[in-house]
Structures are given as C-alpha cells and as structure tokens.
Amino acid sequence: MTVITIPTLVNWMLIHFLGQGTTLQLPFLQTVVQIALLTIVPVALGMWMRAKRPEFAAEADFPVKVASVTLLILVILAAIIRERAIIVQAFIDVGPATLMLSAGSMLIGFTIAAIMRLNWSQRITSGIEIGIQNGTLAIALASGATFLNNPAMAIPPGDL
C-alpha cells in the first residue's frame, strides 16, 4: 500500500505545505518502483529464502539483522552529519512532534497486531516495523538524489 500512497501523499503535502509554486516533487512512477525495490523486494527475497532454504535462512538471520541495524545507524548518521549546521535547532523544532509520531506509529502497529491476536514477539516486530523502518524510508526519500534531494527534510525522521 505504501508503494502507491507515499508518492501520492508526499506530492500532495509538498504542494499543500510549500505552496503551488514548489519545485519539489516526487516523480510518481520512479518513486513507486524505487520504494518497491527498497521495501518489497528484500522482504520477498527473505520469505522466498526462508521457504526454499530454511537452514541457510536460519544461519543468515543474525548477520542480516546486524547488517540492517548497522545500515540504519549509518543512514541516520549521514543525515545528521550532512545537516550538522542546523541539527540542534531542527531537533528543537521537530524533535517532539517526530517522537510523538514515531511512538504513535509504533503503538498503532503493536495494537493492530494485538487485535489480530499475534504473539508477543510479532506484536513488537509490527510496532518496530511501522515506527522505525518507515523513518528510514523517509530519510531515503528526503535525501536521496533520485527523490527529493533535500537533506534538510531528512532531519525529522532522523530524530527517531
């Protein structure tokens, strides 16, 4: 769902908040394809690997988790370093709102998983997935050269 909704909502919000004359805009089809590559392909590959080669998937589980967390930290650090001149004021301006949005998203993910009667670890995973991984996608959208190419817009999701 996010593959379609993100470019649609981001473009609408850019016009709404920055005005009709804004030059910032996500190219719709290119964004859909790249978000699919960033989100759907890795998940599908992992599911396929777990189904076809469960022993390899079990062995790769820990290294993939470490690599994922490391990559997340590097992406956030890169955004912070790139915008170090305005980072303190940005944290003051958007930090509380970003924290509330992230915490609310995590709570919604956890609650929906609970309503669906998923087990405790699946509930936590759903909360983390919604609350944190979407922040990483937001950083990629804001700072990526093929997306908005506006590193300052990567600061709010980096406040996680």
How is residue 84 annotated by DSSP? T
Give the total number of structural domains in the chain. 1
Taking CA atoms, 62 is separated from 67, 69, 79, 115, 121, in Å, by 9, 11, 26, 29, 16
* Tokens encoding 87: 């980072």
Could you tell me the residue range of the domain that residue 80 belongs to? 2-158
Q: Would you give per-residue pLDDT tens digits along the chain (160 residues)? A: 778 888 888 888 878 877 766 666 778 888 888 888 878 888 899 999 999 999 999 999 999 989 988 987 887 788 778 778 877 887 787 778 778 888 888 899 999 999 999 999 999 989 988 877 666 677 666 666 556 666 666 666 655 5
Answer whether 32's CB lies under 8 Å from 1's CB: no
Taking CA atoms, 98 is separated from 75, 95, 148, 154, in Å, by 17, 5, 19, 12
Read off the CATH number of the domain in which 12 is found: 1.20.1530.20
